[in-house]
Structure 1
């Protein structure tokens, strides 16, 4: 059976409807995705994940449901999932607008404020051992953010970067200094926020659901964490109308003084993940960011 045929079968199982066709969609390193249509013209989205990523789709489904709960930012509705397929609402693409960017900023502030039981807490029903892209990611509840971030978001990927030869020991020592000083570098303590967890610009889908353009959150790796981490990741590769997003966020939930100085600290996590997955260039950038964070 072809992957497209498997997508049709999965959609039929999880929606209780008989689809008429599937169109492959591009994008994403970790999955094959399809727009699946029905005879009445409606569509859904279906994706599968590699066999060596157990629990990935369950983690994503739990993340989507958790992010949708506060109804603060649009998130595709989950129609169903199993170990091989995830079927969700399909949203047509649209061009980003300043108004949609401001709406995203306000929505993110409300989403973060919805909170989490602890830093590192997984979504309800989500596995402890989850994924961020193609990399494993452990969601282990920890009371204080600095300890959580060092132990579960920096050190695992730092070890993998060194072990794979992407980073040498002298460079890793710079990042080790960040972990050693994390309590001083972290800024004021904050309650655990409800994070998207992988909020780079590719996971912000500008879409039109019939009411106008809005920014939808897709492909989450949700967990409890520091709200500045989501915002720092959004800044890592740029985002349309970024200053509008950040300005609207601060109107709803002002960030602690010095937050711009901590952007690099929060970007260490995604940069190290990228170093592990994509190589030396990101390792060099992570070391540069670490030196900047250390002052």
Structure 2
């Protein structure tokens, strides 16, 4: 295949799944293009999309370095600063809910249009998660406590909605010669601390360098590290729902830490 913008032959990676949920790959393609439009962190290029697959430029991984990590932190700050119309808003070109989770079992990720982050998190993340867990026979009472406090404005701040990757665990950051490159987003408007909390959830090479460089470009609010657990409740909850086991204990722990933080 020829990349017309560069005039060179490029490798193609096809991400596919027969019977994927309607719009799954179109939503991902829209998210990738939206993130790329921010002009911040490099994003894998979309070559084509259909109902059952997404064609992307094939990335060639290299070893992570501290220099690349610092560049990524600064670039991610620029991506976030590009903003979004509202908390919960999806990427242009996509209407409706998004998706979160593994390719073989993606979960619906409700969209919305909220002026404040707390009510968005309560309505579009914690409440649906609580409902799904209860249907699976799993009770996490702390979710209702968190939701009530967030709807009441606890931890709201004056930060505008950031342009989030939305599923920014280490596996969705590919270190390449062109910089740490984003793949597999669940892109939406949200709080920038959510992406940083996802980076911390499963670890990332040179993570402290990423955070330091990010903070130099876009200083983070005081105490942001104490709020990491709150931002991790949803992704850990989805893992608990899908895989159970140790993730149930981890979910109980992050909920407990988030309740403690929100009560401070």
Q: Which runs of 5+ in 1 are unaligned?
A: 1-11, 18-39
Post-superposition offset of 1:86: 0.9
Do the aligned residues in 1 keep the contact of 2:71 with 2:213 (CA within 8 Å)?
yes
1:201 aligns with 2:170: yes
Q: Contact (CA 8 Å) 1:72, 1:108: kept in 2 or not?
A: yes
Structure showing greater radius of gyration is: 1
1:83 is matched with which residue: 51, 63, 71?
51
The answer for the alignment partner of 2:66 in structure 1 is 98
- State how far apart, in whole Å, the 2-side matches of 1:99 and 1:288 are: 34
Q: Is structure 2 residue 206 aligned with structure 1 residue 234?
A: no
CA distance, structure 2, for counterparts of residue 50 and residue 237 of structure 1: 29
Find the residue that maps to 1:150 and give its secondary structure: helix
Q: Summarize deviations over 1:135-173 as a string: whole Å, max 9, x none.
A: 1111111111101101111111121112112x22xxx21
SS of the equivalent of 1:92 reads coil
Alignment check: 8 A CA contact 2:3 2:10 kept: no
Say if 2:69 and 2:209, in contact at 8 Å, map to a contact too.
Answer: yes
* Equivalences for residues 70-219 of structure 1 within 5 A: 70-133=38-101, 134-165=106-137, 167-168=138-139, 172-182=140-150, 183=152, 185-209=154-178, 214-219=179-184
SS of corresponding position for 1:199: coil
Q: Corresponding residue for 1:69?
A: 37
1:185, 1:247 → 2: CA distance?
27
Please, which of 195, 201, 220 is the counterpart of residue 255 of structure 1?
A: 220
C-alpha separation between the residues in 2 aligned to 1:81 and 1:56?
Answer: 10
Given that 1:135 and 1:277 are in contact with CA atoms closer than 8 Å, whether structure 2 keeps it comes out as no
Task: Provide the rounded CA distance (Å) in 1 between the counterparts of 2:126 and 2:18.
Answer: 25
CA contact (8 A) 2:10 2:57 kept: no
Shift of 1:202: 0.5
- Other structure's SS at 1:93 match: coil
TM-score normalised to the size of structure 2?
A: 0.90
Name the count of aligned residue pairs. Answer: 252
Please tell me whether the aligned partners of residues 49 and 57 of structure 1 are also in contact (alpha carbons under 8 angstroms).
Answer: no
- Structure 2 SS opposite 1:161: helix
Following superposition, the deviation at residue 282 of structure 1 comes to 1.7
| Contact 2:20-2:52 at 8 Å conserved across structures | no
Deviation of 1:208 (Å): 2.2
State the 1:280 CA deviation: 3.7
Per-residue CA distance 1:198-238 (angstroms, 9 max, x = gap): 000110111124xxxx1000000100000000000110011
Residue 272 of structure 1, aligned match among 237, 252, 255: 237
CA distance in 2, matches of 1:42, 1:224: 32
Instruction: Return the offset for 1:127.
Output: 3.3
- Counterpart CA distance in 2 for 1:130 and 1:145 is 17
129 and 252 in structure 1: CA distance in 2 versus 1, 3 angstrom threshold: same
Residue aligned with 2:83, SS: coil
Q: CA deviation at 1:41?
A: 6.5
Distance, in Å, in 1 between the alignment partners of 2:19 and 2:127 is: 26
Structure 2 stretches lacking a partner, 5+ long: none
Partner of 1:33: none
